[in-house]
Structure 1
């Protein structure tokens, strides 16, 4: 056979990532070739391609008998959106004779830089897919091209800390069970969630109040929907499926139930795809009240599944900065007022009072007189200290300097 000499032809990624590569990153790897005998090659090329494909068929499910063509024959809607196209030559012969490669194991390294623009995340749905491939092509003289493909997982990061995803979402709905004279009462439902953006593996706390004023026993439950939207040939088709659910307790007639943060865990699903013109993947949280013998009451809130987890501390700082940003009034509030100079000595003690004190100040006594007039000295010493001039004022002084200016009473 013509390919007997090529025992192994394979593409290996050095930095394999289960979560996928994102825009601007380097995809590095090796092309592995194992030859049973020496051979001559023309070139080894590498190509990376990615596109969004959408296709669905409309029409009767049963074929027409006798091979006739029905007036309502099946019609196909198809659309393609190209997202990635890279090409690189790894090995190439200089002349027409080709390049001789000896038998054995060979590894040719490569690097592919993904574009900086956002790429659509890899996805496989009911009527379409987003697929990226890395293809290695081996060209040899007088042989058809031999190629091998490797899927390249791509993920477009969605930050749930974006301001538009941090606001709470709420909705209220009410339904009258029965009609006209057979109406038995309303069922009301109020649902709210703390924010709009979440990530895989996180739980959504649901706050809800269900009031049952009808005569029937109702059962509430919460579900997460994945809504796939496909657009081709001017038509749109949607596919909606449940990816997670949780059931509440039965609510008898005349009673109400309150959910104070009932948690619904998000399973491993594809993040929201909102940057493609022909394929979208969206999510919603719905709280449904099932009413026997009547149509169910449902409240549906939009949810975005992202890749960057929620950062409560960073979000609080962002909200505080936005709150005080106009005028930067917070800066003026945080700075202390400049210190004021102490009052002047003349503003506190008048000249007449100072002269009177100096003329009438008692002298220290000796012996028993000192012991008998102890109270009088204490008062006079206090008055003398109060009437002393203050030390020279300085706004900046070291602790040692400030202590040297303190006068003790004599």
Structure 2
């Protein structure tokens, strides 16, 4: 049996945010510290603090003679650091009677925060911690993590702008020219939200003597920056494969559908951690490195306004071909391919090269929950045959016979 003097319960409880379990910059973070006592307890102080931190860390090894030297790369960026005294330590002991006690608290979150994130070489985390100080006893602690999701509205001119590109490549084998392969691709806009379908419009001209296979994939790039160095992790989150194109033939994609899976949004506000997305159209050419065309994407949290812009591509809502319908009926979707099958080793090495100073000094370009806006429409005015603005009596119609 537990002693009567032991603390039965010491926990932190947070109130809900704008989205289920999520908060955003500028909001009030409120909650209470719950303390359940079996008998009288003497307390010196009770404090609660809110913290938010982005941190990256990785090790790199290199050989120096017969020894292996490890280089530590780490960086941190604080976002939240607030403290509140619920029971002040004024030199006297506060006596709490047996039973349940609740101590409410409230913090004002900063206007600018980074979205919560967990990656291989870094993270963005937020938490609240309570500390109970008692005479001649160790400090008792309680911790509660919370999620921050910064809204990214895709209803902006920059994210509603169409994205297009052209790429071509000579197919070579044993230093012999086998012809040229070119690809032209376009998507309706730059910003999307998870669950949306990206209609891809593309033309693949195969003027080579080989049969080629086109593919399209959404690539997520996690970039971790520390002390002028960076570490990247790339992964394929969704992909589709087109039909084989014979030598001398052309294939046209009339809005080939590629659905965005439930992925995290782009991270725009953090200087040491970036999460970026891109749509890559790849053409596999036998005997030659792949032809790659990359179009930038931004995964947002606020979905497209139903009537927000004419350029918001009606085709993105309607252009779902039969291939996508067949894909949607599969009970177990096929896993995306490895990143190495989409990007060649040469381009992967270029992506992992250290950044220049200008790249680190520039701002970032670009939370798992979508914010749904509410629209209220006013009814049209009532119809009436009586002119609400009759002409003045002094104005007479001109006689046609005068």
- TM range, smaller chain: 0.7 to 0.9
Q: What whole-Å deviation, never above 9, does each CA across 1:6-60 have from its counterpart, x for those lacking one?
A: 2221111221644620011122222122222221112221100111101111114
Mark the CA change 1:314 to 1:89 in structure 2 (over 3 Å): closer, same or farther.
same
The CA deviation at 1:180 is 8.4
Contact kept? 1:224, 1:285, Cα under 8 Å: yes
Q: What whole-Å deviation, never above 9, does each CA across 1:374-406 have from its counterpart, x for those lacking one?
A: xxxxxxxxxxxxxxxxxxxxxxxxxxxxxxxxx
1:102 aligns with: 97
Number of aligned residue pairs: 321
Contact kept? 1:53, 1:79, Cα under 8 Å: yes
2:108 aligned with 1:113: yes
2:58 aligned with 1:56: yes
Cα separation, 1, equivalents of 2:16 and 2:273: 29
Specify the SS of the correspondent of 1:315. coil
Gaps of 5+ in 2: 313-390
1:285 aligns with: 279
Cα separation, 2, equivalents of 1:341 and 1:207: 61
The CA deviation at 1:100 is 1.4
Contact kept? 1:55, 1:78, Cα under 8 Å: yes
Specify the SS of the correspondent of 1:270. coil
The CA deviation at 1:219 is 1.4
Q: What whole-Å deviation, never above 9, does each CA across 1:236-288 have from its counterpart, x for those lacking one?
A: 22221111112222222222221111121112222111222211111111011
Contact kept? 2:238, 2:259, Cα under 8 Å: yes
Specify the SS of the correspondent of 2:155. coil
The CA deviation at 1:299 is 0.4
1:83 aligns with: 79
1:274 aligns with: 268
Gaps of 5+ in 1: 319-337, 350-410
1:394 aligns with: none
2:205 aligned with 1:202: no
Contact kept? 1:210, 1:256, Cα under 8 Å: yes
2:308 aligned with 1:314: yes
2:201 aligned with 1:146: no
Higher relative contact order (CA 8 A, sep 6+): 2
Contact kept? 2:53, 2:76, Cα under 8 Å: yes
Contact kept? 1:228, 1:282, Cα under 8 Å: yes
Mark the CA change 1:123 to 1:180 in structure 2 (over 3 Å): closer, same or farther.
same
The TM-score normalised by the length of structure 1 is 0.72
2:1 aligned with 1:28: no
Contact kept? 1:92, 1:99, Cα under 8 Å: no
Which residue, 168, 179, 182 being the options, matches 1:185? 179
1:174 aligns with: 168
2:350 aligned with 1:348: no
Range with bigger deviation, 122-131 or 2-11: 2-11
2:41 aligns with: 39
Cα separation, 1, equivalents of 2:34 and 2:215: 53
Structure with max Cα Rg: 1
Contact kept? 2:37, 2:97, Cα under 8 Å: yes
Contact kept? 1:19, 1:155, Cα under 8 Å: no
| Root-mean-square deviation over aligned CA pairs | 2.7
Contact kept? 2:173, 2:287, Cα under 8 Å: no
Mark the CA change 1:2 to 1:97 in structure 2 (over 3 Å): closer, same or farther.
farther
The CA deviation at 1:102 is 2.1
| Higher-helix-fraction structure | 1
Which residue, 238, 243, 260 being the options, matches 1:244? 238
Cα separation, 1, equivalents of 2:21 and 2:258: 23
Cα separation, 1, equivalents of 2:125 and 2:6: 32
Contact kept? 2:173, 2:288, Cα under 8 Å: no
Contact kept? 1:201, 1:267, Cα under 8 Å: yes
Cα separation, 1, equivalents of 2:66 and 2:42: 56
2:299 aligned with 1:299: no
| Higher-strand-fraction structure | 2
The TM-score normalised by the length of structure 2 is 0.74
